[in-house]
Structure 1
């Protein structure tokens, strides 16, 4: 049975191109179109589509408000289209918090210059998110109590932080990798961690270059720990989470007993930028036997090979369970390869991470 898709955009040109790309896939069928957020709500209730593609900026009712209302009336997987601007990034994060499942950059140039690649990506994402009903949605809890002043968080940690490799405890570094569904999952986890969390964190979220700074800022506002986009030379410290920058790769070097971030340009052969596999590999080398790799919801298998190296060097791997994933791809790859030590629902991942000392 074909997945039924509703296409929502105020641009007639864009609606036609999306419709043609989706209808070219024998597994998909566009059953309706809408020009405004208000019309999108009406068509959703009338046509009951399996998936919705939606623009963010529309007349009458914007995409974010439409997502929120659709999630209230008839929860449906929604793929957003967003401009690659700072404002577009903020609006996309708002849409994901409202209930949208995933997003794609809205670049007319790409449709003109490389329509086949855009078509493949669009078809794959719609197929994947359409296979699951919204069982993986989670509500974001209130942030853990803040235990430091705003001045302390904005600058260096309030107390000198020892290098992770010299601290007692089982883990010297936690690396979390995710893709589709990851923004909400990361918010859910980080909001549970106290400001004095004893283990440094490195976060890898598949996301375009213009989006990660805005995402890190939002995570920082919602968390008691410090969260920032990783930059060259940043220290991996307790009470801090560094988010890999979009469009680049993140590595680790150890100088004077302290782990520092190393940013590199991706090669043409690297599909994911940033890559969970690369982050896991770098962590395994920098902190052998003392890394906890966590694979959350996401499409594809990024992280599987890196998890293999983590296990070979004596570190641990956890993965999110199928029931709470938006897309059970990356965690499934790790689990099927027998590389995961624990398979946990998202809420348990958050609780267990918060309890580590």
Structure 2
């Protein structure tokens, strides 16, 4: 019987597989949490998936390290708070044992939990999920499965020797429509992201070294207690200031404003200034904050003079807003499939023929700077 169908004792693993090294076979996941209930909830979800195998169950970071040393693990779901060795302490040990393993932090929906999750992302974790309760929603199931599959794909993809990969021009946008011309000189940069978004945002803003002459607004699908921590961690990157957006504040050039959890971030023009308008309008695309209302309002406030960047994420949030933006003379960039955890949101705008360019996360910053600062 495979590991995905067994109840494995805490701290043990199934027989080591080679999927992590070869990219062939099921995705092997190690679940590390001191709560038997949480381990059981996640294990029950994963056992129902034919392409996922449970490599082991561990009750603390030390046991997770022991299991990881046996090899063949693609993804670790790692609790933040545990006895013996907590998740934040265990993280560097796990990455030292296997630098290519993808670690997804499971964090409680608290201010402290959000701050620790963002700290873990800065320290090398690949992603995070809100810690599950005893009774799980369909949304949590979709989220954890998408993140596990996406992170496993990135791990296996990066294990392929560079010489065996397709050329960058081919990898950039499979299935995407031809590029469209850049639009009007932007007055605003608007960034939308979801699954895998925090790491993509960190990468983008780290690479944006040069000052930008326009404000930057960000909608990341994230619970309220996490968005403030996300803004604080982006702020610590040091290149430019960042904060959670406040209703009615003036948007200033080269500063980043993050939509608060459970509020839509929209934009209003008053005279020569752009102002934040936070709303509690109904969710769009099952999300609040959502990218579509951000792009709609930004396009209206700026007369279409907006540069939109759509990063990794599930679903199609941002597609309708991008359509309206391009029709009004704006420009859209999307993250490519190869560097995305999930190519849902960026794939939707790319396949719809709305993008000026579809680029890897490491290439987007240069294109953004070129469009924003080279514009008349």
Q: Does 1:46 align with 2:61?
A: no
Give ranges in structure 2 of 5+ residues lacking alignment. Answer: 1-24, 160-183
Deviation at 1:268, TM superposition (A): 5.3
Please say if 1:92 is aligned against 2:92.
no
Is the Cα–Cα contact under 8 Å of residues 135 and 326 in structure 1 kept in the other structure?
no
Residues 50 and 190 (structure 1 numbering): CA distance in 2 closer, same or farther, change over 3 Å?
A: closer
Any unmatched runs of 5+ in structure 1? 138-168
> What secondary structure, in the 3-state scheme, does the structure 2 residue paired with 1:284 have?
helix
1:106 aligns with 2:131: yes
User: CA deviation digits over 1:78-111, x for unaligned, max 9?
Assistant: 2221012221111101221222222221252xx3
Residue in 1 that maps onto 2:186: 171
Distance 2:231 2:63 in 1: 33
Aligned CA-pair RMSD:
2.3
Equivalent residue for 2:252?
237
Aligned equivalent of 1:23, options 47, 50, 53? 47
Task: Call closer, same or farther: CA 1:329–1:69 in 2, change over 3 Å.
Answer: farther
**How many correspondences in the alignment?**
323
TM-score (norm 1): 0.83
Of stretches 22-31 and 82-91 in structure 1, the one that deviates more from structure 2 is 22-31
Q: How does 1:308-347 map to 2 (within 5 A)?
A: 308-347=323-362
Find the aligned partners of 1:16 and 1:222 in 2 and give their Cα distance.
37
Report the CA distance between 1:19 and its aligned residue: 0.9
* Alignment partners' CA distance in 1, 2:201 and 2:140: 27
How much does 1:270 deviate?
4.4
CA contact (8 A) 2:210 2:369 kept: no
29, 42, 48: which is aligned to 1:5?
29
Alignment correspondent of 1:64: 88
CA contact (8 A) 1:101 1:180 kept: no
**Pairing 1:295-306 to 2, within 5 Å after superposition:** 295-306=310-321
- TM-superposed CA distance for 1:269, in Å, is 5.8
CA distance in 2, matches of 1:71, 1:132: 15
Could you tell me how far apart the structure 2 residues matched to 1:268 and 1:296 are?
A: 20
